Structure 1
Amino acid sequence: MVMRWDAFLAAVQERGEYSSPEEAERAGRVVLGLLGAHIVGSERAELAARLPETYALVLLNPLPAPEPLSPERFVRATAAWIEGATEETAKWDVSAVLSVVADAADEELMGRVLLQLPPGYDLLFGRPQPL
């Protein structure tokens, strides 16, 4: 089922404790643009199909990543794309957006998405994996 735009944005705004929907929208675009460069194939398409159209397009048309980013470098890259962000605030942005994305996906799809990412992304999605 596709998550509605207003529901997605409201959830990101609440989790990120943003003062405006615009802040939540900016975080969503940046984080999903970076995430899209790291997920390929049917997993990216299936994840996009569960998101509002605007965010689905961001996920499906990312800037190419020359190499997979570790979770720490993913957070640093997010900070670089959001004006005035620090690594601490970017970690908050990433977790707010990715936890809502994880809610839109089912456990099986999230498992396949996490297999494509370097270790540690489970924590960014708010879905710690057993060791």
Structure 2
Amino acid sequence: MHAQPEQRRIAPALTYDQMLETVRYDGAYPTRERAEQSVNAVLAALGQQLGDCLRTALAACLPPEAADALTTALPPTAQPRTGWGFVQDIAARTGVAPAVARWDTGAVLSTVAALLPPDLLTQVLGGLPAGYALLFGRAELVQAA
């Protein structure tokens, strides 16, 4: 019998240090610490937007330190936020302008997207309200009416 994806730990494609360096490069951050602040803020906020199964499956693909930031978040929000609402929430939490929060979010989530199997990324995006695909560096797909 095969284990469910959310129950097994997948060896991440990057170490935490490599992930931080990728985010630092993509985000053009001056220091590793600044990249780490963005990773922690974005993943903690994302953890609140996902249900337990998706959060666990996504965490299994991340380095343990990043998985901790995602899974030790506060309980899920009662009202899921759109992609823009998510960015505004990060701006409020971190005290930065919305444009900076959008930049931070894109740098972190595009790195996360590269670590996920395509089917899991599709499931994550399907479990979130509209507006997240662009934050993950993907096209926003809209079903025709």
TM-score range, shorter chain: over 0.9
Q: Which has the higher contact order (CA 8 A, sep 6+)?
A: 1
Change over 3 Å in CA distance of 1:41–1:78 after alignment to 2: same
**What is residue 15 of structure 2 aligned with on the other side?**
4
What percentage of residue pairs aligned between the two structures are identical?
37
SS in 1 for 2:90: helix
Runs of 5+ unmatched residues, structure 1: none
Of structures 1 and 2, the larger Rg is shown by 2
| Selected match of 2:90 from 75, 78, 84 | 78
Q: How does 1:82-121 map to 2 (within 5 A)?
A: 82-83=94-95, 85-121=96-132
Runs of 5+ unmatched residues, structure 2: 1-10
CA deviation after TM superposition for structure 1 residue 100, in Å: 0.4
Q: Distance in 1 between matches of 2:68 and 2:60?
A: 10
Once the two structures are superposed, residues 104-130 of structure 1 have per-residue CA deviations (whole angstroms, 9 ceiling, x without a partner) of 101100000011100110000001144
**What is residue 38 of structure 2 aligned with on the other side?**
27
Task: Please tell me the root mean square deviation across aligned C-alpha atoms, in Å.
Answer: 1.2
| Selected match of 1:16 from 21, 27, 34 | 27
Amino acid in structure 1 at the alignment position of 2:19: F
Q: How does 1:36-55 map to 2 (within 5 A)?
A: 36-55=47-66
Q: Distance in 2 between matches of 1:66 and 1:130?
A: 25
**What is residue 69 of structure 2 aligned with on the other side?**
58
Which is richer in helix? Answer: 1
| Selected match of 2:135 from 121, 124, 127 | 124
Amino acid in structure 1 at the alignment position of 2:54: E
TM-score (norm 1): 0.93
Amino acid in structure 2 at the alignment position of 1:39: L
Quick check: 110-119 or 46-55, which moved more?
A: 46-55
TM-score (norm 2): 0.85
